[in-house]
């Protein structure tokens, strides 16, 4: 049986073909590279899968090497061909949001010709599926849309640049906006909760978040002319009922022609977005092989 494995900063999440889900806490292992990699190998091979799709938060080559993973530095330079040597398991690997986008197409949006996934959590990641094929770019690092500039000389981003989309639309972006409006340093979900309870400052912080979110989505519409934009990730999930106007607002901001073709949907995969994408990725690669 096939399974999808999503290696994140704190957890490894697994989704099997029959719908079984598993979650492994790994954050405390990250200090020691060899025990961390041993555990990752065990989790991947656990249950003797016939094939595994692997999603990794970071820059990942199609051939199986992780170049850099800002949130999981012990994976920097790790070649999964080496890690899984001798196991005989067939695997495919990709960036978590890129394969997540493929999972959106594979499970929920098969009619889509151009699908863009925008996932907002700790950071902002993107994925693209064109005519049913995941788009990885030349070396596997396409769709780093969180770091496209939406305000030149703007707020500092975790990547070291300024004015990135992620600097405004991420958990830390929302938290920073709240502080800039005179609020205390509280977590993103607390701000969203306060906004829903009617606190004026929190409401303004969420409005600012939405303005930047929609401008970035307008850019996606103008660049890719997608029929489907899927929104996902923890921050989006938490404020989903505050984003009901997303489609109307993004259409208003966009040129009429591409704007009228885009539909904005919300992911149904929850926290298993990456794992579901990884599962879709190995399933899709199998059907390619079968022709």
Nearest residue (CB) to Zn ion, 78 versus 157: 157
Q: Supply φ then ψ for residue 187, to 5 degrees.
A: -75, 155
Nearest residue (CB) to Zn ion, 2 versus 220: 220
Cα-based distances in Å from 91 to 26, 63, 70, 98, 140:
21, 10, 23, 16, 16
CB of 176 to Zn ion, least distance (A): 13
CB of 273 to Zn ion, least distance (A): 21
Nearest residue (CB) to Zn ion, 12 versus 97: 97
CB of 146 to Zn ion, least distance (A): 6
CB of 38 to Zn ion, least distance (A): 33
| CA nearest to 61, candidates 145, 127, 137, 115 | 137
Sign of the CA dihedral with 30 first, then 28, 120, and 270 last? positive
CB of 152 to Zn ion, least distance (A): 13
Q: How far is CA 37 from the centre of its chain?
A: 23
Most distant pair of Cα atoms in the chain: their distance: 59
Rg, Å, the chain Cα set: 19
| CA nearest to 103, candidates 43, 145, 53, 66 | 53
CB of 186 to Zn ion, least distance (A): 23
Q: Which residues contact 167 (CB under 8 A, 6 or more apart)?
A: 154, 155, 156, 157, 158, 173, 176
Instruction: Give the per-residue SS3 of 227-256.
Output: CEEEEECHHHHHCHHHCCCHHHHHHHHCCH
Interface residues with Zn ion (CB under 5 A)?
Answer: 147, 157, 159, 161, 164
Nearest residue (CB) to Zn ion, 29 versus 142: 142
Nearest residue (CB) to Zn ion, 92 versus 213: 213
Nearest residue (CB) to Zn ion, 157 versus 246: 157
């Amino acid at each position: 049986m096939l399974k999808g494995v999503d290696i994140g900063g704190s957890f490894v999440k697994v989704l099997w073909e029959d719908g079984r889900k598993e979650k492994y806490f790994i954050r405390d292992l990250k200090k020691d590279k060899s025990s961390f990699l041993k555990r990752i190998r065990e989790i991947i091979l656990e249950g003797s899968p016939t094939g595994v799709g692997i999603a990794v938060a970071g820059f990942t080559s199609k051939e199986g090497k992780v170049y850099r993973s800002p949130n999981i530095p012990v994976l920097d330079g790790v070649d999964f061909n080496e890690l899984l040597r001798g196991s005989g398991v067939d695997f495919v690997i990709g960036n978590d949001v890129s394969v997540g986008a493929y999972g959106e197409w594979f499970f929920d949006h098969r009619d889509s010709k151009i699908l863009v996934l925008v996932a907002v959590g700790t950071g902002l990641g993107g994925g693209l599926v064109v005519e049913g094929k995941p788009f990885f770019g030349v070396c596997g690092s396409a769709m780093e849309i969180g770091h496209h500039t939406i305000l030149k000389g703007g707020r500092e981003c975790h990547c070291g640049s300024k004015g990135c989309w992620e600097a405004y639309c991420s958990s830390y972006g929302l938290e920073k906006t709240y502080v800039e409006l005179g609020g205390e340093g509280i977590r993103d979900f607390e701000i969203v909760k306060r906004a829903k309870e009617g606190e004026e400052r929190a409401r303004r912080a969420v409005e600012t978040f939405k303005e930047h979110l929609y401008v970035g989505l307008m850019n996606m519409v103008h660049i890719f002319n997608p029929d489907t934009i899927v929104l996902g990730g923890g921050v989006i999930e938490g404020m989903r009922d505050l984003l009901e106007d997303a489609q109307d607002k993004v259409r208003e901001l966009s040129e009429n022609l591409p704007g009228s073709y885009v539909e904005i949907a919300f992911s149904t995969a929850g926290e298993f977005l990456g794992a579901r994408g990884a599962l879709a990725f190995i399933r899709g690669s199998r059907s390619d092989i079968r022709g």
